[in-house]
Amino acid sequence: MLSSFWIFAEKNAWRVWCATAVCAHWWQIPIPRLFQPVFWLRTVSVTTEIFLVWGGYPRVALERDEQRKAAYLSELYNAYVRKDIKDLARIDNVSGFNNLITALAHQAGGLANISELSIATRLARDTLEHYLFLLENTFIIKGALPFSRNPRKEISKMRKYYFLDNGLRNIAIRSLAALDSRPDAGELAENAVFADLTKKSPLLEEIGFWRTQSKTEVDFILHGEGRLRPLGVKFRPFSGPKIPGGIRSFRQDYPAKERPLVLTRDYFGTTE
């Protein structure tokens, strides 16, 4: 009986590990201590691929066949984003609305220039801002405001927009290629980190970004309730601890007690 259990566990390990990861991510259920070493040692590459490319919707993430995964994701996108939101909000310019979603998906995590978006989507500025409001309040995207106390030196008005699920972002641009073959892997990692931060940050904490006029940048600034912490996302191999130049510049201008965080692809460590 015991040997039969281990045969089952070995054959179904992929689903067991992925189910554990999805539950922890989607419903924020703590992973039991017994599973923690297995989860990190055996599934980090699998779960990274799932969440960065396919997103966190359980039906999509738990499906093993990629054709069915793509079909489920497309069905979800068409039913919720293209139909339900359009019908509930009584959107008149369907083409412009769809063009806006695609444009935002292509530049997720980049500075959003409203005038340029208006030209690209052929939407009037008021209409475009209304559609952005709808997309934020239906939890498709979320905007990040710049952190700035020196408007002459720093960007203080332009927002960045992120998708709250990577799968919806990728299906919007029709790109579900494997992570290692994607030129936008870094952008996907940044988008996923932002989406996760929005779920777990305290109510009074803001998630912003910092960028100077000379383009020195920190991906995220966590601030509020006396907190000020820079966070960088560097989805590339690290051989040792290294603080990015943007974070160094930020700390010179804004000394803080909290250590900065740098999320990397394969390195864990600390440095002063």
Residue 127's nearest CA partner among 158, 160, 157, 93 is 93
What does the pLDDT profile of the chain (272 residues) look like in tens digits?
333 323 333 334 334 334 444 444 444 444 333 333 232 333 345 577 788 999 999 999 889 899 999 999 999 999 988 888 878 788 889 899 999 999 999 999 999 999 999 999 999 999 999 999 999 999 999 999 999 999 899 999 999 999 999 999 999 999 999 988 999 999 999 999 999 999 887 777 899 999 999 999 999 999 988 889 999 998 877 777 778 899 999 999 998 778 888 888 776 666 55
* pTM for this model (two decimals): 0.81
**The architecture CATH gives domain 65-264:** Orthogonal Bundle (1.10)
The DSSP secondary structure of 8-65, one letter per residue, reads HHHHTHHHHHHHHHHHHHHS-PPPPTTTHHHHHHHHHHHHHHIIIII-S-HHHHH---
Parse the chain into domains and list their residue ranges.
Answer: 2-61, 65-264
Instruction: Let me know: does 127 contact 93? Beta carbons within 8 Å.
Output: yes
Give the pLDDT confidence of 35-47 residue by residue, as tens digits.
Answer: 332 323 333 455 7
Report pLDDT for 271.
58
